[in-house]
Amino acid sequence: MRTGPEIALAASARAWPDQVHRFLLDHGGGRIRARVMGPEQALSEHYEVLFIDDVCSFLTPRLVRSVRDLGRQIVGVYDPADAADAKRHLLECGVTDVLEQDAVPEEFLAAAEATLLHSETDVLRVGAVSPAFRVGVLGPIGGVGCTEIAIGISSSLATRRSTVLVDLDQVTPSLAQRLDLPLHPNLLSAVDAAHHRIGSISEVVLKEDGIDVVGGLVKAIASQELPPVEIEGVLDELGKEGYEVVVADLGSPPLARLEQLRFQVLIVVGLANPVGMARVVRSVQEIVTRVDMPDTVALVNRVGSGSRQRLEIRAEMARLLPAVPVVLVPDDRRLARASWDGARVTRGPFAESVGRLASLIDGAMG
């Protein structure tokens, strides 16, 4: 039996959330499903109406669109003492309705019921706009060649599908420097475009001789690490921009972050030595058990030219990862020259190997 609207209250220093919560506990008429502390919770909790302050730190147009795409309503709360700017900010974010902070709890309940009564039945659901196919390239540690692999895959895929390469390495971002591209615009510019409507996502994409690139952070410091929900918004907007494939240079991210980003393929890169291979095996095993991903590929990089070494690597990886595809990428002197020139490697054994991997990805897309 329905007991009234199911409500979520965003965190606020103002008094209205506690007043509304106490009123519903004492008098009924609705149910508080969550006290929302951040954007991830706003999208993961189950409720019908979210009340949120105009000064809430995580209120953005992107969040409002995402909440409404889930079929939920969102009511903005503002202080009339802040003049018309506060109300205008809420309306520009796209909230369903607005309410003054000094409204009595009965008015909050009435606003929730009214927004549900007049909500559109044909609201756009998450997934109605197909996102781009997402490929993430990562390594257990830095220095294993993730950036070169990501560039190589993007170069090959771009010859057959609309592809964008994104630097999501928030510890050692280097994609723009590697390809001799400007440091601005970059990932922060993409976040502004996706979440705050500052510019457009197309304006932050750099063109580099056949591939499109979104550069990484200029200063990689811990305090600048972007929340997964902001990264998700950027990837989603790139898909809506028309890109069929997004290839992300992830660096060495915590596995917990991967669980919050929807990649279709993860490529785990390690070096062709016992320590490097052991790290790849451990990382792949952790991903397979923790991250809900359809496909994970183990890539052994900088393999020597000797056939015996290649056979030994394949045999060992097949024994330790029997259900996981394994790709061997040879060492290639062209990479060193290309890195000095800020160019891509388009010929030779390295390009051929990552090209075959790109063909597998292309085939997986249908």
- pLDDT of residue 262 exceeding 90, the answer is no
- pLDDT of residue 320 exceeding 90, the answer is yes
- Domain-wise residue ranges, the chain: 6-117, 133-364
Decide: helix, strand or coil at residue 178: helix
**pLDDT in the model for residue 99:** 95
**pLDDT in the model for residue 307:** 87
CB 86 within 8 A of CB 78: yes
Distance, in Å, from the CA atom of 228 to the CA atom of 41, rounded to the nearest integer, reads: 12
**pLDDT in the model for residue 301:** 97
Beta-carbon-side half-sphere exposure of residue 247 (alpha carbons within 13 Å): 28
Amino acid present at 70: L
Supply φ then ψ for residue 241, to 5 degrees: -70, -15
Mean of pLDDT values over 273-291? 92
pLDDT bracket for residue 129 (50, 70, 90) = very low
The CA-CA-CA angle for residues 96, 97, 102, to 5°, reads: 145
CA torsion sign for 42, 43, 49, 52 is positive
pLDDT bracket for residue 225 (50, 70, 90) = confident
pLDDT bracket for residue 294 (50, 70, 90) = low
**pLDDT in the model for residue 209:** 80
Where helices occur in the chain by DSSP H, the ranges are 16-27, 39-44, 61-69, 83-93, 105-117, 146-157, 175-178, 187-196, 228-240, 255-258, 274-290, 307-320, 334-341, 349-364
Mean of pLDDT values over 159-178? 95
CB atoms within 10 A of CB 72: 23
**pLDDT in the model for residue 41:** 94
Q: How far apart are the first and last CA of the chain?
A: 45
Mean of pLDDT values over 264-292? 92
CB neighbour burial string for 233-244, b if at least 16 within 10 angstroms, e if fewer: bbbbbbbebebb
Mean of pLDDT values over 55-83? 91
| pLDDT tens column, 181-204 | 999 999 999 999 999 889 999 999
**pLDDT in the model for residue 339:** 92
**pLDDT in the model for residue 142:** 92
CB 100 within 8 A of CB 80: yes
**pLDDT in the model for residue 352:** 96
Mean of pLDDT values over 167-175? 93
Mean of pLDDT values over 317-339? 94
- pLDDT of residue 278 exceeding 50, the answer is yes
pLDDT bracket for residue 119 (50, 70, 90) = low
Mean of pLDDT values over 84-91? 88
Q: Which two tokens stand for residue 362?
A: 């292309």
CB 45 within 8 A of CB 8: yes
Radius of gyration of the chain measured on its C-alpha atoms: 24
Domain at 133-364: CATH architecture: 3-Layer(aba) Sandwich (3.40)
Average pLDDT, the chain: 90
**pLDDT in the model for residue 224:** 61
Decide if 6-117 and 133-364 have a common fold.
Answer: yes
pTM above 0.85, yes or no: no
Domain at 6-117: CATH architecture: 3-Layer(aba) Sandwich (3.40)
Supply φ then ψ for residue 216, to 5 degrees: -90, -175
**pLDDT in the model for residue 2:** 61
Decide: helix, strand or coil at residue 16: helix
**pLDDT in the model for residue 364:** 87
pLDDT bracket for residue 257 (50, 70, 90) = confident
Strands 265-271 and 133-138, by their bridges, are: parallel
**pLDDT in the model for residue 124:** 35
Mean of pLDDT values over 249-258? 88
- pLDDT of residue 308 exceeding 60, the answer is yes
